[in-house]
Amino acid sequence: MLLARYTTLFATSALVCAVASSAHAAGFQLKEQGAALQGLSFAGATAKTDDLSTIFFNPAGMTRLEGDQLDVTVSVIAPSSKLTISSIAGSTGGGGNFPANGDSNGGDAGKLAAVPAFYAMWDVNPKIKAGLAVNTPFGLATEYDDGWAGRYYALESELKTINIAPSLAYKVDDKLSLGGGVQVQYASARLTGAVNYDAIFGGSPADGKSIMEGDDIGWGFNFGALYEFDENTRIGASYRSRVHHSLEGDLNITNQPGPLVGNANFSDADIKAKLVTPDMFSVGIYHGLNEKWAVLADAAWTNWSLFKDLTVTNAVDNLQRQHVEENWEDTYFVALGTEYKRDADTTYQFGVAYDKSPVKDEYRTFRIPDSDRFWVSAGYRKNINQKWTFNAGYSHIFAQDATVTEDAEAATHGTISGEFNSNVNILSLGLKYNF
């Protein structure tokens, strides 16, 4: 009955997560985990605790919710990332020189993505709540035109995750609540790039293509605390652990010229790579000014300095097939927001945020042309009736222009320099059902 309905919806949500492409926020983290918070730029996400996305942001917040509930959110992310190439030098490829600057920028590297989130809560008793969250907390998707000048550095880059997190929350007393759970995280990655046989072999043969794919399942944990000074003021804190992945998969290389067939550096292989999704700590505040207005704030730290390099090796002999220095830095995210309750059933939201990029200028790559960004958001909430609640949120993200110079493999890949102009539009829609 009730459990069967939850199981069916869970399975459907997991399938949606599995097929959806993902787009990156700062680094390759995805903030888009709830329509009820999108319009606030996720200000107060750790302390607001009046919708089921609290299972993701701070599981202790479930103690403020009553009754068995379901929530499904879908965020449509429309990024635009356009490169203006300033210089091309070095290698030739694919039967001749690189294309002219004006025709070789790769098009718009941003990819439209749909990011779902699913939540369920069982109201065990007034002190104990059990929850389940299915999310895509990390994701990356960039793709360039096949013939662009930097094709030997990057064509397609994609990372997808599915995170399943059962959680429990316990109300210690009228002030303090605690919560936590485990994370089971599936990660899959796909990296493609052109292979410059002309620079290696000579004779101007057509480019080949390198296709790397791998996946893994890892696990972690999360916990949180919520302290309520009174009904109108509360503070929350939450920690999500890092998750270690040992990706395993295949490398396929196409169109090898005859003399390179059998060469270990140009042969198909089983491959492996390490990936660690970072741990995060956040703190949030909610304060109701009066019956109509509330103000919210959130600050989060992400341990991106774990991401030192991207290295892919053969599974059998550890021959290195790709190595890129990343050397990311730890980052912070800060957000401020306000809510206006027009009446008992209608709420409007506004929020701004600053999202610091982990990427140093000298290590920025075409696969992840990340930069600092500024969020502006607006949202709407409507209680349709006693059982159904509708949430909608919209954000526009202004990204700073980002310069990239790639020359680590200049002999075969050339030296490519340019500047990205990027922005992101996000629309999140959600429905909550109270049984």
Query: Could you tell me what percent of the chain has a pLDDT over 70?
Result: 91
* pLDDT at site 98: 52
Q: What is the pLDDT of residues 40-53, one digit of tens each?
A: 999 999 999 999 99
What three-state secondary structure class fits 384? Answer: coil
What three-state secondary structure class fits 205? Answer: coil
* Pairing relationship of beta strands 269-277 and 346-355 according to DSSP bridges: unpaired
Q: Please state, in angstroms and as integers, the Cα–Cα distance from residue 82 to each residue in 44, 142, 395, following that order.
A: 33, 11, 20
* Domain encompassing residue 204: 2-434
Domain count, the chain: 1
User: Does the reported pTM lie above 0.85?
Assistant: yes
**174 phi and psi angles, rounded to 5 deg:** -65, -15
CATH number of the domain that residue 264 is part of: 2.40.160.60
The answer to whether 98 and 104 are in contact (CB under 8 A) is yes
pLDDT at 207 over 90: no
Per DSSP, what are the bridge partners of residue 108? Answer: 82
Distance CA 390, CA 388 (A): 7
Cβ neighbours around 38 below 10 Å, total = 30
The answer to whether 180 and 146 are in contact (CB under 8 A) is no
Side-chain-side CA neighbours of 65 within 13 Å: the count stands at 34
pLDDT at 146 over 90: no
Which is more confident, 83 or 92?
Answer: 83
Q: What is the pLDDT of residues 320-344, one digit of tens each?
A: 999 999 999 999 999 999 999 999 8
* pLDDT at site 11: 42
